[in-house]
Amino acid sequence: MKRKDFLKKGILGGLGASALVSGCTLSEPKSVESSNLNLNKIHHWKMVTTWPPNFPVVGEIATKMVDWIHTMSGGRLQIDVYGGGELVPALESFDAVSIGAAQMGCGASYYWGGKTKAAQFFTCIPFGMNAQQMASWLIAGGGYELWKEVYEPFNLVPFLGGNTGVQMGGWFNREINDIKDLKGLKMRIPGVGGKVLQKAGGAAVLISGSEIYTSLERGVIDATEWIGPYHDYKMGFHRIAKYYYTPGWHETGSQLEFFANKTALEKLPKDLQCIVETATMRAQSWVLAEFDAKNGFYLDKIKSESDVEIKNFPKDVLLNLNEKTKETIEEMIANDSLSQKVYDHFNAFRKRINPWSKLTEKVFYNSLMK
């Protein structure tokens, strides 16, 4: 028996023509008559990403997800993935999906801060929440509904797409013992973190990933952040930098995303909409697991293959950067009511969840140090 016939018989015969299929959203489930399902129609989509083709983890997950969708849909939804620059420039993915030139995108919402400042809160802010807390806010704390509201004017629907976990603080050729050591420091660091560094007297430099190694090696920059040991090792930073600092105060749990053209998504049968969301939730789990597994392995390689000193940022430096973060965010939301709304919700959830995290996660991790 062919797969399509098998599925059709199972859905229509086993459940009956009036069976209900649960809608698949992070809000309340909706029902749809099974008779509305057309199991013979093939839907073709394009996905554009901000990442180079098959870039480790963040690029790989796009390919994995479309494979899962293909399998779960019995081939009824087929998505072709294009890395950054292959179909549209990487940072034009948002616009391409918004206007329907592609039906889906993959990236990180803080890339779209120029479109809407509020988008940045759905990836991360300095001294924000970790991966576990971000997932709780989005999935169970009401954050996802706000995310959809922010993307609504652009005819987009966001989906969770994984989390990097707490990143490293970066590679430095200057030791950081005091906040004064950041003055004049030229560092490749984007986004809100870059604005905070500037408040501390440093200079945030924006250069592409392909230029970072040479810039650090030649002294064009004094420091750079990237992601974590896995990607940092692949970039070779351990061969040219003296110090590797932790924690990544600027990216404490960076949430990644998929986003779909709303019109295209709503044209899909309800079961395929559910399959898309189910695949993104599987991606959410895989990305963090892969980052943790690979980062642990490559941290050992960095230690064994180089003389790099792995150091903690001094507490006073972190406290000072935290205060400057608060100033930066206040400036960011001052004249933007939507950003104010999202940040207030984000911050209220963080204040509610932090006492629980301190009672459990913090105590547990501290015990590992003894």
DSSP track, 251-297: -SS-EEEEEEEHHHHHHS-HHHHHHHHHHHHHHHHHHHHHHHHHHHH
Instruction: Look up the domain containing 66 and give its range.
Output: 40-166+253-292
Tell me, what's the pLDDT at 3?
A: 44
The answer to whether residue 260 sits within a structural domain is yes
The answer to the question of residue 156 being in a domain is: yes
82: CATH: 3.40.190.170
Output the pLDDT for position 143: 98
pLDDT of residue 27: 52
Q: Check residue 9 and give its pLDDT.
A: 47
Hey, how many other C-beta atoms are within 10 angstroms of the C-beta on 25?
A: 15
Which residues 6+ apart lie within 8 Å of 225 measured at CB?
A: 167, 168, 169, 170, 171, 187, 188, 189, 193, 248, 250, 251
Rounded distance between C-alpha atoms, residue 15 and residue 33, angstroms: 11
Q: Nearest CA to 244 among 294, 333, 305, 329? A: 305
**305 inside domain:** no
Number of domains in the chain: 1
* Range 147-157 burial, b when 16+ CB lie within 10 A, else e: bbebbeebbbb
Question: Is 155 a domain residue?
Answer: yes
Q: Which residues contact 205 (CB under 8 A, 6 or more apart)?
A: 186, 187, 188, 189, 215, 220, 221
* Tens-binned pLDDT, residue by residue, of the chain (370 aa): 454 453 344 434 433 333 333 456 555 555 544 445 678 899 999 999 999 988 999 999 999 999 999 999 999 999 999 999 999 999 999 999 999 999 999 999 999 999 999 999 999 999 999 999 999 999 999 999 999 999 999 999 999 999 999 999 999 999 999 999 999 999 999 889 999 999 999 999 988 787 999 999 999 999 999 999 999 999 999 999 999 999 999 999 999 999 999 999 999 999 999 999 999 999 999 999 999 999 999 999 999 999 999 999 999 999 999 999 999 999 999 999 999 999 999 999 999 999 999 999 999 988 986 6
Residue 127 in tokens: 């001294």
Contacts for 107 with CB less than 8 Å, ≥ 6 apart: 49, 50, 51, 90, 93, 94, 256, 257, 259
Residue 357's H or E segment, with its range, is helix 337-357
* φ, ψ of residue 259 in degrees (nearest 5): -145, 140
Residue 145 covered by a domain: yes
* Cα–Cα distance for residue pair 370/367, rounded to 1 Å: 6
Distance CA 141, CA 124 (A): 16
Distance between CA atoms of residues 7 and 5, nearest Å: 5
pLDDT of residue 54: 86
Q: Are 65 and 279 in contact (CB under 8 A)?
A: yes
65 occurs within a structural domain: yes
pLDDT at residue number 35: 45
**Domain contains 265:** yes
Is the dihedral angle over the CA atoms 226, 230, 231, 233 positive or is it negative?
positive
Q: In this structure, is residue 242 part of a structural domain?
A: no
